[in-house]
Copies of this chain bind each other. A is one copy, B any other.
Amino acid sequence: MKLGILGYGNLGRGVESAVMQNDDVELKAIFTRRDPSTLTINSKTAKVISVDEIEKYKEEIDVLILCGGSATDLPEQTPKYAKMFNVIDSFDTHAKIPEHFQNVDRAAKEGKKIGIISTGWDPGLFSLNRMYANAILPEGSDYTFWGRGVSQGHSDAIRRVDGVLDAKQYTVPVQKALDSVKNLENPNLTTRQKHTRECYVVLKEGADPKKVEEEIKNMPNYFIDYDTTVNFISEEELKKNHSKIPHGGFVIRTGKTGINKENNHIIEYSLKLDSNPEFTSSVLIAYARAAYRLHKEGQTGARTVFDIAPSYLSPKSADELRRTML
């Protein structure tokens, strides 16, 4: 399977790296909006090509992985490129998924291609686990916790505060809330009860820490509904201790069965990831394999993780899977 990447940020570099763990996958090209000569890539085989030339590679690329952002890139890119390529994206604006799905479905059918949207781990693996658990235990409650991990959006928000040179924000699930769920207390949890926010902030010279801390803690949408701690550290410390992009989380469903609903069950799925972009990329590659196969079967249109039989993700044959993994 010959892959292309569009966009060489954290996620694009993650896909480039994850290709090395997949023997059946070859990275052919990295497409960029920047001047290709300014990009230094890790891959020995891939070419760096301006996105303006992408149409010329329609025959060379089996699946194009779109590594742009959900806010402005993917709503435009995924439908556009689904007309020319089988595409995979990690579109994660949950409220806009139905609209995005329709746009990609229309384009992919027009191009006779497959477009798999909203893969990764949330949406993606977490969604799958919510769905399986709900189908199996119809009477119950769902809980999703994120972290401990770096939220790029919240880190960016802090960096926009006056007086801040650099920052990292960790989302942390509240252990007490997790315990309550696992103890079958069936809690109704507020935003504040589920997660705390830990900020590591480097100040610009002369900035007032009191003022910066107040501004962060009271920021609407991002921080005001949470218990937030702000730690001021040096630039060196930020680089040394906070340069990785870990993440993870928990999807838990608690449910009841029995004539008198006397039996409780807990289904729990959790991830603990050293590198969010590399893990997300690994999921994207597994779904690229699925897109490649679905297209070979003559299927077209948009798909999500819900629509794809698990075996399509594995390089092993159905026979081998039954023999070794069932």
**A contact set with B: CB distance below 8 Å:** 14, 17-18, 20-23, 42, 94, 97-98, 101, 118, 123, 125, 127-132, 134-139, 256-259, 262-275, 278-279, 281-283, 286, 289, 304-311, 313-315, 318-319, 321-323, 325-326
Q: Which of A263, A264, A282, A308 has the most CB of B within 10 A?
A: A263
Give A299 to B283 CA distance when docked, in angstroms. Answer: 29
CA distance A136 to B14 in the complex (A): 13
Please name all residues of chain B whose beta carbon is closer than 8 Å to the beta carbon of A322 when the two chains form the complex: 97-98, 101, 304, 306
- Is B278 in contact with A271, judged by CB distance below 8 angstroms? no
A-B contact pairs, 9 of them (CB 8 A): A21-B137, A131-B325, A135-B313, A257-B275, A257-B282, A263-B278, A305-B326, A307-B310, A307-B318
> What residues of chain B lie closer than 8 Å to A273, measured between beta carbons?
263, 265-266
Given contacts A125-B267, A310-B310, 4 further A-B contacts (CB under 8 A): A132-B310, A135-B313, A265-B272, A268-B272
Instruction: Say whether A309 contacts B311, CB under 8 Å.
Output: no
**Complex contact B306–A279 (CB within 8 A):** no
B269 near A268 with CB under 8 A, answer yes
Tell whether, in the assembled complex, residue A271 and residue B265 are in contact, meaning their CB atoms are under 8 Å apart: yes
Residue of B nearest to A257 (CB): B278
Q: A21-B257, A265-B272, A314-B131 are in contact. Are A306 and B278 (CB under 8 A)?
A: no
* C-alpha spacing A319/B97, complex, angstroms: 10
Contact call A259/B20, Cβ cutoff below 8 A: yes
Q: What residues of B have a CB within 8 angstroms of the CB of A314 in the complex?
A: 131, 134-135, 306
Q: In whole angstroms, how far apart are the Cα atoms of A323 and B20 in the complex? A: 35
Q: Max chain B CB contacts within 10 Å: which of A21, A23, A305?
A: A21
Whether the Cβ atoms of B101 and A283 lie closer than 8 Å is: no
Q: How far is the CB of A29 from chain B (nearest CB, A)?
A: 19
Nearest residue (CB) in B for A123 is B326
Which residues of B lie under 8 Å from residue A270 when comparing CB positions? 266-268
Give the residue name and chain of the B residue nearest to A182 (CB).
Answer: B272
In the complex, which residue of chain B has the Cβ closest to the Cβ of A270? B268
Query: B310 and A305: CB pair below 8 A?
Result: yes
Give the CA-CA distance A56 to B315 in the complex, in Å.
44
